[in-house]
């Protein structure tokens, strides 16, 4: 029996651009990261690392330091375990290498130039251009740095190796802040890009 059109359609829809675990992890990570950043801002304000630079309390989460700490140390579990599952499945399925590699500085440079003159197209959503690859890989590594520097701050006595890796307790706070700033920067660019290619939002929701 020849493959029916229905069967072909089914097998196509069964192979979404983003598998369901990628979509789930993406949105759970987005939720966790937003909660972590907003509550983190409130914690930062209790004793600013950079004197004179304060985040407006109205855009923070938690209301006071104690509330913000509760949010931060609750959302961290979601961020941590969701991140572990995401990285684990990415490695196990080979998606990490399939989607993000090969990646060369030359390709990044080429796509950056094309993007700046408005000629970088993103018609095939199943394929990442070099700028996407470097951006997504950077934010994955940035999230790992955020978790490690956060652990060094939270448990500076229990994790001496991590503490020294971060350059001591006080320096871990600077690393944590800078990694947060990079994450927020990614978030802004990411949202602008999604606004430019709205179809990519649908893909991350429905898979196609």
Partner 1 sequence: MPVKKRNSFLINPELDRAQILKDATRELALPTRRLFLKGAVTLGGLTMLTGCGLSDNQSVESFLMRVSRLNDRVQGWLFDPNRLAPTYSEAELTRPFPFNAFYGVEDVPEVDAASFVLKVGGLVTGKRSWTLPELYALPHAEQITRHICVEGWSAIGHWGGTPFREFLRQVGADTSAKYVGFKCADDYYESIDMPTALHAQTLLTFQYDGKTLPPEYGFPMKLRMPTKLGYKNPKHIMEIYVTNTFPGGYWSDQGYNWFGGS
Q: How far is the CB of 161 from partner 1 (least distance, A)?
A: 11
In the complex with partner 1, which residue's Cβ is closer, 49 or 201?
A: 49
In the complex with partner 1, which residue's Cβ is closer, 71 or 128?
A: 71
Q: How far is the CB of 69 from partner 1 (least distance, A)?
A: 7
- Dihedral sign, Cα of residue 107, residue 112, residue 114, residue 120: positive
- List of residues contacting partner 1 (CB under 8 A): 43-44, 46-47, 49, 57-67, 69-71, 73-74, 77, 153-158, 160, 163, 169-170, 173
In the complex with partner 1, which residue's Cβ is closer, 66 or 88?
A: 66
Rg (CA), the chain: 20
Q: How far is the CB of 45 from partner 1 (least distance, A)?
A: 9
Q: How far is the CB of 181 from partner 1 (least distance, A)?
A: 16
CA distance 95 to 93: 5
Residue 82: other Cβ atoms inside 10 A: 20
In the complex with partner 1, which residue's Cβ is closer, 69 or 135?
A: 69
In the complex with partner 1, which residue's Cβ is closer, 144 or 170?
A: 170
Burial class (CB in 10 A: 0-12, 13-18, 19+), 91: exposed
In the complex with partner 1, which residue's Cβ is closer, 16 or 67?
A: 67
Q: How far is the CB of 27 from partner 1 (least distance, A)?
A: 19
**What is the C-alpha end-to-end distance of the chain, expressed in Å?**
28
Burial class (CB in 10 A: 0-12, 13-18, 19+), 172: buried
- Those residues whose C-beta lies under 8 Å from the C-beta of residue 206, and which sit 6 or more positions away, are 16
Q: How far is the CB of 80 from partner 1 (least distance, A)?
A: 11
How far lies 63's CA from each of 30, 41, 145, 181, in Å?
21, 11, 26, 21
């Amino acid at each position: 029996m020849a493959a029916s059109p229905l069967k072909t359609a089914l097998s196509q829809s069964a192979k979404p651009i983003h598998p369901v675990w990628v979509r789930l992890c993406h949105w759970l990570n987005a939720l966790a990261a937003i909660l972590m950043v907003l509550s983190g801002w409130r914690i930062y304000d209790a004793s600013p690392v950079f004197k004179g630079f304060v985040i407006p309390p109205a855009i923070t989460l938690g209301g006071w330091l104690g509330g913000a700490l509760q949010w931060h140390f609750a959302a961290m579990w979601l961020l941590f375990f969701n991140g572990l599952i995401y990285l684990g499945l990415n490695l196990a399925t080979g998606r990490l290498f399939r989607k993000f590699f090969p990646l060369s500085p030359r390709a990044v440079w080429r796509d950056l130039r094309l993007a700046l003159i408005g000629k970088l197209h993103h018609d095939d959503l199943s394929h990442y251009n070099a700028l996407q690859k470097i951006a997504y890989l950077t934010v994955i590594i940035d999230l790992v740095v955020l978790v490690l520097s956060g652990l060094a701050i939270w448990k500076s006595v229990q994790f001496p190796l991590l503490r020294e890796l971060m350059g001591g307790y006080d320096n871990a706070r600077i690393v944590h802040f800078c990694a947060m700033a990079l994450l927020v920067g990614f978030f802004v660019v990411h949202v602008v890009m999604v606004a430019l290619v709205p179809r990519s939002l649908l893909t991350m929701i429905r898979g196609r």
